[in-house]
Structure 1
Amino acid sequence: MALNTRTGLLIHEAETKNILWANPAACRMFGWTLDELKPLKAHHMSAQERKYRREVGVAWLQAAVENGTSRKQWKYRAKDGTEFLTDAIATLVQSVDGPVVMVEFRDIGEEIELQEELHRVSESLQRIMTHTAAGVVVLTEDNLIDDISPLAASLFGRTAEELMGRPLDEFCTSEPPLRAPAVVETLTTANGSASVQLEVTDDARTTWLAGEIETVAHDGIRTRVLTVRDVTERVEWQQRSDYQQANLQYLSRYHAMGDMAMILAHQLGQPLAASTNYLSGLKARLGRDDFDPRSLTYGIDQIEAQLHRAADIVASVKKYVRRIESTAALMDLNASTAEALYFVRLRAAEKGVRVFADLPERNLYIRGESVMVGQVIINACMNALDEIAQPTTLVKELALTTGEADGFAFVTVQDQGRGIGETSVPGLIDGAFTTKVDGSGIGLLISQHIVERHGGTIEFLPNDPQGTIVKISIPLADAAVGVSATAGSRTGG
């Protein structure tokens, strides 16, 4: 029986572990004759990996001597260098010539390959099953529905029978499209997968599905497996958020336009009124007998000066409003602050407040919407001016500073008004805090949203010896841009 079996047999002397005999199956596996096998040691006929070293093999055989039997997966090496993994059992046998160790071994290489293939298939199925509340759609390479799970069919609002054999894009819109070159190229690569978003629309509602599609090859057949999950709630939330952001921009631009209209109404009134007075004076002088032509020249010069002043005001407002629809881009915080200062100083002059600005002579590049950032600065300054104008505020000064620290560019607006109590700080932004009779806090709320959209923060800090510091911080842009001076040093106004 030992001569005809397909299992290899080796007989080792129990004490020395020398090979005494091998059956024909063992000789075929090793490619050696019995006489060639006998003088070989473990390292001659085993794989070179550390776990198959001679001392490990000897210890395995010795375990059989001591315990009666010992089992191990052992990788042998044939005469031609081919290695083969075996399931080997060493058993102590008492023969007439003394104890020997009989090793029975069989090649399990094909079994291991089959196990690995099954493991790969199992892992692939596991990836599909681990998707929480996921439906599964099996597609052909032409994106026809070959099979579909009941859950997936329900997500498409139909039965499996209605969907089978039909093109997937007949029931939904995919982004990116499944036939897009990038998706097709990804699915042709090994282990390639692509993420898609599907929009399923019927008469009642729209369902949004997040999908992951990958190509599975088995026995020469390539199929596409699409797993889908319902993400309608998340997409609708994002759409609401986008709408709120758009509405926020509208509100901010609306307030900016309101500020500009107010400035026009206030500031144009002065030069126009002065021009009217000069014209009235000239008309009165023209009717007098002692009319002096030099007074006519003087009056015309004054009217011209007032009209130039009005033109300058209109030009500044026009320049600002022209950029209301600007989009996010690389911008200099110093430049935006300098533009905002023009309007701040106009309001400050009305209230008898001096403005001090300290802008470093270097660019502070950030990425954002310059008009929106400028509106935040103006809003903070206008609030400070209202506080400084209070009768209880003795120091009628506003200080504006820019700088950078810890990767952020910042603007600070300082006053020496009444300041804010500790209990007022948490409610400042959300509109719960206001000292104005008709105040609503909405300016601060919009400012906060604008700054947060730029990745920044607004802080309200106590000023020394009294008052408030508003600090607006926005991340510096990571860009190599040439430096040019954009602002002057500290000046009074």
Structure 2
Amino acid sequence: MFPARRDFEQMILNTGTGILIHEAGSKNILWANPAACRMFGFTLEELKPLKAHHMSAQERQYRREVGVAWLQSAVVYGSSRKQWKYRAKDGTDFLTDARATLVRCEDGPVIMVEFRNISEEVELQEELSWVSDSLQRIMTHTSAGLVVLDDDNCIDDISPLAAQLFGSTPAALSGVHLEDLGRCDPRLNSDQVVARLDGRAGSVSIQQEIIKDDGTTVWLAGELEIVAHDGIRSRVLTIRDVTDRVEWERRNAYQEANLQYLSRYHAMGDMAMILAHELGQPLAASTNYLSGLKARLSAETVDARSLEYGMDQIEKQLRRAADIVTSVKRYVRRIESTTTLMDLNETVEESLYFVRLRAAERGIRVFAEIPDRTLSIQGENVLIGQVIINLCVNALDEIAQPTTEVKELAVETGEDDGSACVWIRDQGRGMTGVPADRLATGAFSAKQDGSGIGLIISEHIVERHGGTIEYLPNEPSGTIAKVSLPLADAPAPSRPAKTG
């Protein structure tokens, strides 16, 4: 028994699939079922006068001409299927899987468009496709291998790729103790590894050094963890070749150590020149006074006041020499220091002691504006101090030029945009152009015989501390060297007020 015509009408009215009836010739909307009205948010009477561009998305591929051509293809070929993005009354777009079919009715041919919203399906499909593609890329490009160990850390099973990393075959490695293939860090029987695996606290990072027969070294790294399956707990090691990374880290560590060596070597060179120059004066004066005392002692009459005066002067000169030595020792007291919490103001003041000595012999005045507060940074006192000295000495060389009229060096510290800063100002010739890129290549030096190495070292030191050095024009002339370093979260220990 076939359903009555009214039953078919009820099915069309209650289906969740949207149905639009277009006139075959004009493509005007003649009718829409309730599902279509709900999707569009229009009543049937509101839908009828709408054209394709009123109810379609604004992208180029959904413009009116394309929609009309799609419906016309159904007229020509009987049916046409397309993904079409409609626009609802509230302005939201929804993607549909639509089929246009030519239907010949008593009153003339019409186009019946059946469509359903597939936006969520497409979104889910794209997400699943992305996950699938990502997993495929991981599986394709990963260089990880798997090793299953027994409780004694001997190899129970090993993947071909893992065996290849060890330079052998799965059969040859079966039953071999993992540490017989190379030293592991940490050791597999160490308390750290045992505690984490026995306590099921998670995985343990393992790094292994493999020395091949030809003498080359391969570094493997991985995660050792307990995997439970079918009531069995297995030790599974996932490993990959990290030789390139380890070698890069070692080269980087060497470069860091070499940078520190060059910086400290440079610092000690400056200290040696200062000692040679500054100690020479009080020691020479003491020698002269001693010669005078010897001459007076050999005379027939000895003037006690002259002797006392000479001895006082000798003591004064030796005290000055002792002060110079003490200052140098205080400056390099952390010559092998590591990064610690320090006060930038205190480091600048210590550095300015030596800067003033250099400036005095050239007739240059040094003005320092250092606030009576701490500027806490994480850094190495000697290296940051050497940066200050390098920049100040570079400025002094410029100020000492005959063309520089104002023989003054100004040093200021403070905060700027969340950083601890030092400004070093001179009124010399200034810099033409932007020297930042030239400094990075070591091509900038204001001195005729200078290589710029001191500035390059300074830049590397500051960058390693997370800061920057900027070279800015000074007004009315000259250059400002601005050193910016990140402020530390915790305050540095308070210090007594200093003047200078």
Q: Same fold (TM over 0.5)?
A: yes
Q: What is the aligned partner in structure 1 of residue 255 from structure 2?
A: 244
Q: Secondary structure at the match of 2:361?
A: helix
Q: Does 1:374 align with 2:374?
A: no
Aligned mates of 1:300, 1:189 — CA distance in 2: 76
CA 1:482/1:438 → structure 2, altered by over 3 Å: closer, same or farther? closer
Post-superposition Cα deviations, 1:69-95, rounded to whole Å, max 9, x if no partner, equal: xxxxxxxxxxxxxxxxxxxxxxxxxxx
Matched-pair contact (CA < 8 Å) for 1:135–1:150? yes
Matched-pair contact (CA < 8 Å) for 1:334–1:487? no
Shift of 1:273: 2.0
Post-superposition Cα deviations, 1:395-434, rounded to whole Å, max 9, x if no partner, equal: 1111111112333211111111111111433212432011
Q: What pairs with 1:67-466 in structure 2 (closer than 5 Å)?
A: 129=139, 132-187=142-197, 192-203=202-213, 204-285=215-296, 292-466=303-477
Q: Counterpart of 1:183 in structure 2: which amino acid?
A: V
Shift of 1:268: 1.0
Aligned mates of 2:269, 2:147 — CA distance in 1: 55
Q: TM-score, normalised by structure 2?
A: 0.68
Q: Secondary structure at the match of 1:422?
A: coil
| Farther-moved stretch of structure 1 (272-281 vs 125-134) | 125-134
**Is there any run of 5+ residues in structure 2 with no aligned partner, and where?**
1-10, 16-131
Aligned mates of 2:427, 2:182 — CA distance in 1: 62
| Farther-moved stretch of structure 1 (327-336 vs 192-201) | 192-201
**Is there any run of 5+ residues in structure 1 with no aligned partner, and where?**
1-58, 64-121
Shift of 1:473: 1.5
CA 1:241/1:321 → structure 2, altered by over 3 Å: closer, same or farther? same
Post-superposition Cα deviations, 1:120-150, rounded to whole Å, max 9, x if no partner, equal: xx9xx99994771222212224322111122
Shift of 1:317: 1.4
Q: Secondary structure at the match of 2:447?
A: coil
**Once superposed, what is the RMSD of the aligned Cα atoms?**
2.8
Aligned mates of 2:145, 2:497 — CA distance in 1: 58
Shift of 1:261: 0.7
Q: TM-score, normalised by structure 1?
A: 0.69
Shift of 1:285: 4.8
Q: Counterpart of 1:389 in structure 2: which amino acid?
A: A
CA 1:193/1:128 → structure 2, altered by over 3 Å: closer, same or farther? farther
Q: Counterpart of 1:266 in structure 2: which amino acid?
A: H
Matched-pair contact (CA < 8 Å) for 2:427–2:478? yes
Matched-pair contact (CA < 8 Å) for 1:128–1:136? no
CA 1:131/1:242 → structure 2, altered by over 3 Å: closer, same or farther? same
Q: What is the aligned partner in structure 1 of residue 3 from structure 2?
A: none
| Farther-moved stretch of structure 1 (244-253 vs 208-217) | 208-217
Shift of 1:474: 1.4
Shift of 1:194: 3.1
Q: Counterpart of 1:198 in structure 2: which amino acid?
A: Q
Shift of 1:243: 0.8
Q: What is the aligned partner in structure 2 of residue 478 from structure 1?
A: 489
- Indicate the percent of aligned positions where both proteins have the same amino acid: 66
Q: Counterpart of 2:375 in structure 1: which amino acid?
A: L
Q: Counterpart of 1:196 in structure 2: which amino acid?
A: I
Shift of 1:283: 4.3
Shift of 1:262: 0.3
Q: Counterpart of 1:170 in structure 2: which amino acid?
A: D
Q: How many residues are treated as equivalent by the alignment?
A: 370
Aligned mates of 1:174, 1:408 — CA distance in 2: 43
Shift of 1:284: 4.6
Q: Secondary structure at the match of 1:351?
A: coil
Shift of 1:237: 0.9
Shift of 1:185: 4.5
Q: Counterpart of 2:248 in structure 1: which amino acid?
A: W
Aligned mates of 2:401, 2:382 — CA distance in 1: 29
Matched-pair contact (CA < 8 Å) for 1:360–1:487? no
Matched-pair contact (CA < 8 Å) for 1:410–1:474? yes
